[in-house]
Amino acid sequence: MPDLMGRVALVTGASRGIGRAIALRLAAHGASIVATSSGRSAEALEAVCSEVRDGGGQAAALTADLSDASARAEVVSQAVAAFGTVDILVNNAAAIPAFLPPSTMPLAMRQSLFAVNLDAPLDLIQQALPTMRERGWGRILNISSDTVRQPPVPYAGKAEMVHALAVYGASKAALERVTEGLAAELHDSGVCVNALAPSRIVHTESAEGVARQMARTRPEWVEPVETMAEAAYQLIARGCTGAVISSRELLYRWQLPVLGLDGRIVMGDCMTPATR
């Protein structure tokens, strides 16, 4: 069970949702957690760290505005100050803009979106990578989104959803391309780089209303947050690299059940494939 004992995981956007779930799941396997979020989520972030400690693990809370280059320049060094190193980096934090079409989204909004969704992950990777390379062991997991996919034409009846998420999807598509490039660059170094996206709407606090409605009308469109935590843990623990994949696709491919955030209780299976 404690197969990540002695490892330190830095998880961004860890105050709730997918980031919280991944942090708790990695802690259940022995990893010490440095959980980050913006200052607006400081109380929720400390609650996550308390959950880790209550389970017998170690955790440190770190607030940082990842849209600010000077603020994020200190994140990895502060994580190292807490636990001595960073072995695992989970880039989960994301900026989700107002739902505006590309033709009207202002420059400042686009810059802020790409700063958090692309520049911040790459900056944190560049900060953590020298030590990972030196040790010959590291895990980098970038959390992507199903919005990178181009919906099929015709657009009738769904045009608004297509254009409203286009720039956000573009930032995540860029993150996936960087993931592939890094995996190739770091091949045979012991540092594994992957990207993971939800297969469906994830039932989290931020998507509570949508998920609840979908669970009533189209339950196949919703996945529990534990599915993402399970897939994230498996990618980190198994040490594969170069995967750009969705949660259910990965679990179906490896024929794995979905376990709870404690890593013990079986919640269900992924016997139905979900491809990207």
Indicate the residue type of 140. Answer: I
Q: Which residues pair with 223 in a beta bridge?
A: 202
Query: Are the C-beta atoms of residues 230 and 25 closer than 8 Å to each other?
Result: yes
Pick the catalytic residue from 144, 145, 246, 247. Answer: 144
Residue 144 a catalytic site member: yes
Name 35's bridge partners. Answer: 11, 61
C-alpha–C-alpha distance, residues 239 and 234, integer Å: 8
- Our answer to whether residue 158 is catalytic in this structure is no
Residues 24 and 18: their CA atoms lie apart, in Å, by 10
Residue 38 designated active-site: no
Quick one: angle between helices 120-135 and 75-83, nearest 10?
Answer: 40
Candidates 67, 145, 172, 246; catalytic one? 172
On whether the CB atoms of residues 57 and 23 are closer than 8 A, the answer is no
Catalytic residue among 37, 38, 145, 168: 168
Q: Which residues are catalytic?
A: 144, 168, 172
